[in-house]
Structure 1
Amino acid sequence: MRIDLRHLRAFEAVAEELHFRRAAERLNLAQPALSRTIQQLEESVGEVLLLRSNRRVELTEAGRVFLAGSRAVFEHLESAVHDARKAGAGQIGQLRIGYTDFAVSGQLPPILDGFHRDYPQIRAELVFGSTQQQLELLKGGSIEFAFITGPLLDPNIDSIEVQRDRFVAVLPQRHPLAEQSEVSLSDLAQEPFVMGVMSHWSHYRRQLDALCISAGFLPQVVQEAYNSEGVFGFVAANIGVTVHLESAGNFNRKGVVLIPLKGVDARVCTLAAWLKNSVTPVQQKFIDFLRQRTPPL
């Protein structure tokens, strides 16, 4: 026979009262019904749990062990109910978050740190990927948030701008322009460029190409890398120069210098994006956090 909660509640009442009448009153049950419930429980367990006499009720050794286990069941159940309510309120759970080089070198770390301090029971699983890769993962349901390079025009995706970067020139430390306080984009027209590979950096490179074309040239790319660390390493090796974002200043890479670009007002934005039609309570907490905590740009 199956043991259910009514058996456990009946047993716990009798074990604590050590008196069937008082236990029946406590449970608002007729005493014969309580006796039958205890009998059913003992038959299911296969052990005598209570010794009964006209004067007293006592727990057997099996009964004492079963009482401890019964109380643990109720504690686990109470904890499960508590956690379920917290999950329903978006206070416990997991978020799968995609990110780019630009995001992790900029606002993503303080965003994750602040969110974890506010919601320590929500765990973040982080996935690195290009903007295009993240959008595919987002639409496929593999991640819930994508920190990507904007702009983004998709009616099914909502977003918040969390970061806006200026362009900067990144030069080898011994480059002739490295001592200047700022350089013009046109000063780099004849320079070999190190860039992120087009398959991973297409959103950024389209914006940079447009910027360079407005200055009268298209970058001569001599070397590509898959991430910012690789780009900076090749610049440090004097293979070429590049134009990156000011948040790259958070990289501690020896052998390169970052110099502001004169007369360039364009900005590159990083967006936190999510699907509009599938927002869970946990995701809503993160969205609310982003809206409240992301500094005005």
Structure 2
Amino acid sequence: MPDLALDLRYLKYAMLVAEHGSFRRAASILNLSQSTISRRIQLLERRLGMPLFERNHAGARATLAGERFMRDAAVGADHLHQAVLDMASTQRGEIGDLRIGLMASLASGFLSDLLGTYRRRFPRVDVRVQEAASQANAAGVLNGRLDAAFITGSPLLPGCEAEHLWDERIFVALPEDHRCAGGRVVAWDDVREDIFLVSAEAAGPEIEDYLVRQLSGLGFRPRLSVQQVGRENLLNMVAKGFGLTLTTYSTLGATYPGVVFLPIGAATEMVGSSVVWSATNRNPALKRLLQISSELAEKHRRGTSRARRAESRRG
């Protein structure tokens, strides 16, 4: 058996000699001396323990054993060459696996743009998404199950790094026949007597905490109805008149018949989101995701600043 460290260039030289039937023509193509080609193929033959060519004054012809060896070895060489290319691509973050946790909608907004951009740039990375509450996503990052998580607020997790990426306006989802559905904005006082539907999953616990803080400040406890459903069925329940629910701008990218989305509270009431990851995570695919996240966040901030200046001039 040949040494596994056998220089694959020698195999390439042998295949060229077999293809052209001549050491001289192979040397000319490779821009090497004929003696160099001959010595290296002889070394290959010694390692294999058999001759690859029948040599004569007219040139060289592969032996039966040599012809079979080069045919079979070419397949293995192609596989090994591809493996080397894939390894390099993996190191560049172009191939691999990426596991992320989130709680926001992917219908529109920053996270939708981010994942769309990432997919277009790195289509060979296998991205797996977990939708869960912030606490579950944070635990996933801490135990290594997730490479990164997109969490509301500014999380401080041991051994982790975080970067604030975007802010979203808070909206209330109302049935289209609700008394406030025809307005442009909803005040908290307008819905103090309504039932708020909250999912037990994903962003549900965060929304429940937010409602308690907002409405308890007005002197009463909010009426909450916790449902064991996801975002889609929660909004379908709103359409059927079971209550209202809170969401963010990103949800507005999808259509929900019978539901009206209006901003609630003051225009300054925003929910911020960050990406958090382990400081020891060396996944190259994660590095690429973080780079794109920072790029889009900066682009988003510049766009927001321009919009505010334009609005100020109009005012």
Task: Indicate the TM-score class for this superposition, using the shorter chain for normalisation.
Answer: 0.7 to 0.9
In 2, distance between residues paired with 1:279 and 1:7? 31
Partner residue of 2:36 out of 26, 31, 37? 26
The 3 A distance-change label for structure 1 pair 152 and 6 is closer
What does residue 63 of structure 1 align with?
A: 66
CA contact (8 A) 2:99 2:145 kept: yes
In 1, distance between residues paired with 2:202 and 2:129? 21
Q: Secondary structure at the match of 1:94?
A: strand
Superposition misfits of 4+ residues, deviation over 6 angstroms = 19-24
Partner residue of 1:175 out of 159, 178, 188? 178
Q: Which moved more, 1:119-128 or 1:195-204?
A: 195-204
CA contact (8 A) 1:172 1:237 kept: yes
Instruction: Report the Cα offset of residue 185 of structure 1.
Output: 0.6
Partner residue of 2:48 out of 41, 50, 72? 41
In 1, distance between residues paired with 2:58 and 2:224? 96
In 2, distance between residues paired with 1:108 and 1:164? 11
Instruction: Report the Cα offset of residue 210 of structure 1.
Output: 0.8
CA RMSD of aligned residues (A): 3.1
Trace 1:75-114 onto structure 2 (pairs within 5 A).
Answer: 75-102=78-105, 106-114=109-117
Trace 1:137-216 onto structure 2 (pairs within 5 A).
Answer: 137-197=140-200, 201-216=204-219
Q: Which residues of structure 1 form unaligned runs of 5+?
A: none
Write the letter of the residue equivalent to 1:202: P
Instruction: Report the Cα offset of residue 247 of structure 1.
Output: 2.5
> Identity across aligned pairs (percent)?
22
- Normalization by structure 1: what TM-score? 0.82
State yes or no: 1:13 paired with 2:16.
no
Instruction: Report the Cα offset of residue 248 of structure 1.
Output: 2.3
In 2, distance between residues paired with 1:86 and 1:223? 46
